[in-house]
Structure 1
Amino acid sequence: MMHDQLKFKKLGIDTQQEHVVYMRSDCHICKSEGFSALTRIKVSNNDKSIVASLNVIESELLSPGEISLSKGAREALQVPEEAYLTLSHIPPVESMKFVRSKIYGHTLTFNALQEIMVDIVQGNYSNVDIAAFITGCAGKMSEEEVTGLTRAMVEVGERLDWGIPVVADKHCVGGLPGNRTTPIVVSIVAACGLTIPKTSSRAITSPAGTADTMETITRVNLSLEEMKQVVKKEGGCFAWGGSVKLSPADDLLIRVERALDIDSEGQLIASVLSKKVSAGATHVVIDIPVGETAKIRSRKTAETLKERLEKVAATVGLRLKVVLTDGTQPVGRGIGPALEAMDVLAVLKNETSAPQDLKERAILLAGDLLELAGEVPNGQGVVVAKEVLETGKAFEKFKAICLAQGGFTLPTFAAFSYQVKAEKAGTVNKIDNRRLAKVAKLAGAPDDPAAGVLFDAPLGKKVVVDEVLYTIFAESEGELSYALEYIANEKDIITIF
């Protein structure tokens, strides 16, 4: 063993994507190198290296000559038991000067943003550093900065080229419970013969993302090569963007944004468009739900976002159509991965109980995408999309894609549930989307796939006393209790007049 090495011991600690290294405070390296808690250090295993945050142990959990790593760090370095790891200081991260500059209100150039993205992807930023960058950009970002950030995020990852002139894609900016139109749109568009390699994020601040929902039905952690094979065979896919690493910086930013509960406009635009460019898309439809308690709260804000999306898209070579939709209430009944998946399947199977609002919105967006891509004449998109859905062609394509990705399973309900009932008779007049989504998150969504809310009180519905407004599902009694404690103090989630 060399003086800068320690023997690896597995402790089995999971810190998600944050790389953490564990050492004794009295080990010879901590003493000689002056390492202290939270120091960022370089850890190497032969030719593989990562940057990790140090956690200091003052117990017999490790011996002075041993070191341990968090699960993610161990997997990144591919460390076997009792391997010897090499430790060293890392030089100051130069791009942090640009982060500090942004915090103080200065504009960042493309080169500065590129340096930041490179350091983030290489693991040189801790979660605290990434949070500082996100917070610094949470205010106003210029159009040039957003374009620069988009380009920088594309350049630090893979970029696909499908070798064809039209590659379709669809995205929703989120902020509206349910609204799981993407799997339906992909199925319709792929059934029409277009190529639509859909990569989706997991939830940032919502109870479910498309990747979370689809994971209750099929495998979404596809490698880049697996994704290409599925698309080649079926024309479309439902892949988690983090597994194919098309815009790896975005996935790292999203993880911290979720913890901060921040999803700023500039980063939203860069996140969406970088994923589309990286996936090789040429024609994209974007859904922006607008409502008082949606992510985008006013028509004016939506129009501004629409304009900025279109301008940045043009600079990075995308043909884009932005659709402003109703964001005053949830779409469909399910809020949470498995419950939303049930809605998707009901629509695709043309079940009589399927939520019609989800069906109609999916048909609208699929029709717009078919027209944008030149597959059908303008004005005929909705007609064609509806026919493909109602004849069962979309469901057949959906199943084929799922099977090509590794399987097709049916989502299930969580073990524990509670019905929230109307305390008075009247008409549903208003729904607080944000607080309803929070109920689903407190119940465990999206980390517990079957957790969430089954909603049954759309605007305009007449209800009687004790009629069920929504049902909370949780995978443990404790999480169900969290949600119930919250709603006990929140009387106006659903307003009845």
Structure 2
Amino acid sequence: MKLKVKAINYESGNKKEVILNIKDTLELGQKAGERIRIKNIKSKSIEDRYWVAILEIDHSNNIVNSGEIGFPLDLLEEKRDIKEDMTVSVKPADPPDSFRFIQKKIKAEKLNSEEINSIIRDAVSGSLSRIDLAAFITAVSINGMDGDEMTALTLAEARSGDIFNFGENVFDKHSTGGVPGNKVSLIIVPIVAAAGLTIPKSSTRAITSPSGTADSMEVLAPVAFEYEELRSIVSKENACIIWGGALNTAPADNILIEIERPLHMDPVGLMIPSILTKKLSLGVKRLVLDVPCGLGTKFPTADNGKEFAYIFKEIAKNVGIQAECALTLAHQPIGHAVGPAIEAIEALNLLMDYSKGPNSLIEKSTDLAGILLEMGGKAQRGKGQMLAKELLRTGKAYEKMRKIIEAQGGDPNIKPEDIELGPYEKEFFAVKSGHITEVNNKIINLIAKTAGCPHSKRSGVMIIKKQGARIKEGELVFKIYSDSKSKLNRAEKIYNSTGGPIVLGGMMIERI
């Protein structure tokens, strides 16, 4: 079949998708998500003889007419031998070999390193469709991966992009997530850097939570940098807190994550390689992994977290990273603030004045920073948290944070009161006196995201009173901020319909 090229004003990313009219796809005998071979009929180059794309179908007749093939603009730019209005030859294409390897995993068979490399290569090249990759993710979720497979996947994903070198002793901290208000990286990075260790912290933006480290740091300074800019920042301050999406690190992992999100899947067989791939890409040699355990997290019990930690340490060792895992409590938020800007305020308050706390943020941040200080030889085993608290209490961590902010293009003199929160706010008060027995993380996340987090940085929530506190009827317990009145109203409705995240009770469990 011969079709005329039409430019379509959207970007396909890595998907390598083209669009055909429904009439032409019926004649071709292909379905959406299947592969077609495209050839520039005038090209004499052997390497440009044909290439494979994923088929999407225009059922509406509004995008391409019969006799046309729609190319996204970025795909036209990449395929320089293909021009608008050019005639190309289109034929059905067979699946790549990697498709057979995905079928093996569906059948619960073990994959060798070359088979895994093939899947990753084809994922990055666009030869595997989103349906193919969804099948792979589902197969791993159901059937799992053993240590050999996870090791091979980690190395394959790391090799799919750039690998940077910041020296022999590079440290980092990561979390498996699940706890609202987990802003500890904004405290840990300046503590560790103030002690003289190198810690180039690369973070994602929030995926399922109200704020990620990059979201909160972006309130204080820019977070998107290319490698040469990043090298300059780390060379100057031996630290950074950036968004990793601006770098070409582990594109294969980014592709898999993009498909995992709508599937609500994050299997251990992919989670461990995903974490370690990002660390390998930045040359990390020593890592502390925060493993929150409790309801609403990936690990409901400490035993679940411990089992994961042993597997993680094994795979980390296989790829050349010394890792320690810290199982942490996750029964309520860290600190009181949840949301990009409001978390930046809380972190900055602590860095500037140790006495302001909150205690949960101090303890968790210095626990994790202390492990890194011990791994880096700055403190004896068991003494790291003491040094971390000293660096925080004396203001050395704050001075280092000011320098990091300045190096990243922010205002080093920024104060908590300079940071704006959403103009629409709603306060909630205790309807009775009592003892707080539970703070529901799931409801907090839902309210914060409904209010606009993480995309609206000024939106967020403040949990005034937490588990263990005694409160009186009419006392302020919760506050919502939003950039949008309608979003605030929806968040308020969720609070009222659920009864809010604060659970009150007396000291008696039951009378028998």
Per the normalisation by structure 2, the TM-score is 0.85
In structure 1, the residue matched to 2:510 is none
In structure 2, the residue matched to 1:361 is 364
Q: Note the C-alpha offset of 1:196.
A: 1.0
Gap change, CA 1:383 and 1:115, over 3 Å in 2 = same
Q: Note the C-alpha offset of 1:168.
A: 0.8
Gap change, CA 1:403 and 1:464, over 3 Å in 2 = same
- Counterpart Cα distance in 1 of 2:445 and 2:78: 34
Provide the secondary structure at the position in 2 that maps to 1:414: coil
In structure 2, the residue matched to 1:119 is 122
Structure-to-structure mapping, 1:188-203, within 5 angstroms = 188-203=191-206
Question: Which of 394, 399, 414 is the aligned partner of 1:396?
Answer: 399
In structure 2, the residue matched to 1:268 is 271
Q: Note the C-alpha offset of 1:171.
A: 0.9
Name the aligned partner's letter for residue 321 of structure 1: E
The reply on whether 1:439 has 2:441 as its aligned counterpart is: no
Question: Which of 133, 140, 146 is the aligned partner of 1:142?
Answer: 146
The reply on whether 1:101 has 2:109 as its aligned counterpart is: no
Structure-to-structure mapping, 1:72-471, within 5 angstroms = 88=90, 91-139=94-142, 140-164=144-168, 166-350=169-353, 352-408=355-411, 411-471=419-479
- Counterpart Cα distance in 2 of 1:365 and 1:420: 34
- Counterpart Cα distance in 2 of 1:130 and 1:316: 24
Are the equivalent residues in 1 in contact too, given 2:427–2:480 (CA < 8 A)? yes
Provide the secondary structure at the position in 2 that maps to 1:238: strand
Question: Which of 47, 60, 63 is the aligned partner of 1:58?
Answer: 60
Name the aligned partner's letter for residue 438 of structure 1: L
Gap change, CA 1:21 and 1:218, over 3 Å in 2 = farther
Q: Note the C-alpha offset of 1:218.
A: 2.0
Provide the secondary structure at the position in 2 that maps to 1:175: coil
Are the equivalent residues in 2 in contact too, given 1:204–1:261 (CA < 8 A)? no
Provide the secondary structure at the position in 1 that maps to 2:220: coil
Are the equivalent residues in 1 in contact too, given 2:5–2:84 (CA < 8 A)? no
Q: Note the C-alpha offset of 1:52.
A: 5.0
In structure 2, the residue matched to 1:8 is 7
Gaps of 5+ in 1: none
Gap change, CA 1:87 and 1:253, over 3 Å in 2 = farther
Provide the secondary structure at the position in 2 that maps to 1:190: helix
- Counterpart Cα distance in 1 of 2:186 and 2:309: 23
**Residue deviations 1:7-48, cap 9 Å, x none?**
4253xx57887665455556xx76875666555557899999
**Residue deviations 1:198-231, cap 9 Å, x none?**
1112223222222222223222222222222211
- Counterpart Cα distance in 1 of 2:76 and 2:502: 47
Gap change, CA 1:282 and 1:93, over 3 Å in 2 = same
Equivalent residues, number: 491
Greater alpha carbon shift after TM alignment, 454-463 vs 419-428: 419-428
Greater alpha carbon shift after TM alignment, 327-336 vs 201-210: 201-210
Q: Note the C-alpha offset of 1:490.
A: 2.4
- Counterpart Cα distance in 2 of 1:230 and 1:311: 32
Are the equivalent residues in 2 in contact too, given 1:8–1:84 (CA < 8 A)? no
Q: Note the C-alpha offset of 1:241.
A: 2.2
- Counterpart Cα distance in 2 of 1:411 and 1:21: 45
Gap change, CA 1:422 and 1:65, over 3 Å in 2 = farther
Are the equivalent residues in 2 in contact too, given 1:50–1:77 (CA < 8 A)? no
Are the equivalent residues in 1 in contact too, given 2:18–2:69 (CA < 8 A)? yes
Q: Which has the larger radius of gyration?
A: 2
Provide the secondary structure at the position in 1 that maps to 2:152: helix
Name the aligned partner's letter for residue 363 of structure 1: T
Provide the secondary structure at the position in 2 that maps to 1:137: helix
Are the equivalent residues in 2 in contact too, given 1:40–1:51 (CA < 8 A)? yes
**Residue deviations 1:343-401, cap 9 Å, x none?**
22222222654423212211221111011111233333223222222232222222322
Are the equivalent residues in 1 in contact too, given 2:7–2:73 (CA < 8 A)? no
Q: Note the C-alpha offset of 1:118.
A: 1.4
Q: Note the C-alpha offset of 1:174.
A: 0.7
Provide the secondary structure at the position in 2 that maps to 1:95: helix
Q: Note the C-alpha offset of 1:496.
A: 0.6
The percent of aligned pairs where both chains have the same amino acid is: 34
Gap change, CA 1:264 and 1:492, over 3 Å in 2 = farther
Gap change, CA 1:361 and 1:69, over 3 Å in 2 = farther
Are the equivalent residues in 2 in contact too, given 1:422–1:468 (CA < 8 A)? yes
Are the equivalent residues in 2 in contact too, given 1:18–1:72 (CA < 8 A)? no
Provide the secondary structure at the position in 1 that maps to 2:222: coil
- Counterpart Cα distance in 2 of 1:125 and 1:340: 39
Gap change, CA 1:9 and 1:341, over 3 Å in 2 = same
Gap change, CA 1:196 and 1:80, over 3 Å in 2 = farther
Q: Note the C-alpha offset of 1:279.
A: 1.2
Q: Note the C-alpha offset of 1:193.
A: 1.6
Name the aligned partner's letter for residue 8 of structure 1: A
